[in-house]
């Protein structure tokens, strides 16, 4: 799979946290996280499956910033990570995958 930020770099397996394997970009350090794997890891390591819910971001954001899922090529939806955070994640509802830019 190609990186959705760099577009010219291939995603490689990497361990984001102990036991949580993701697809990472060695160039921009972005990360594609399988939410099914994340939920399993969260339950296994922390004994919980319900993480804090994310609220939908402002949909008036520029369409030019929309990203296509590297797995299925459908448009990913942007979500604000929290009410006091500037970080956003891109979510593919079809594949249940989330893209995190470096530092998110």
18-76: pLDDT as tens digits: 999 999 999 999 999 999 999 999 999 988 655 454 444 444 444 557 889 999 999 99
The span from the CA of 14 to the CA of 92, in Å, is 20
Total-model pTM: 0.78
* Confidence label for 83 from pLDDT (cuts 50, 70 and 90): confident
Q: Give whole-number Cα distances, 56 to 37, 41, 81, 82, in Å.
A: 22, 24, 9, 10
Give the integer Cα–Cα distance in Å for 43 and 50.
9
SS3 for 12-51 is EEEEEECCEEEEECCCCCCEEEEHHHHHHHHHHHHCCCCC
């Amino acid at each position: 799979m190609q990186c959705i930020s760099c577009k010219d770099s291939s995603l490689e397996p990497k361990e984001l946290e102990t036991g949580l394997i993701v697809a990472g970009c060695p160039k921009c350090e972005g990360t594609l996280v399988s939410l099914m794997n994340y939920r399993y890891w969260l339950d296994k390591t922390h004994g919980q499956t319900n993480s804090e819910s994310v609220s939908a971001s402002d949909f008036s954001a520029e369409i030019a910033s929309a990203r296509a899922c590297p797995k299925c090529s459908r448009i990913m939806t942007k979500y604000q990570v929290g009410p006091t955070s500037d970080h956003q994640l891109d979510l593919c509802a079809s594949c249940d995958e989330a893209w995190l830019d470096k530092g998110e």
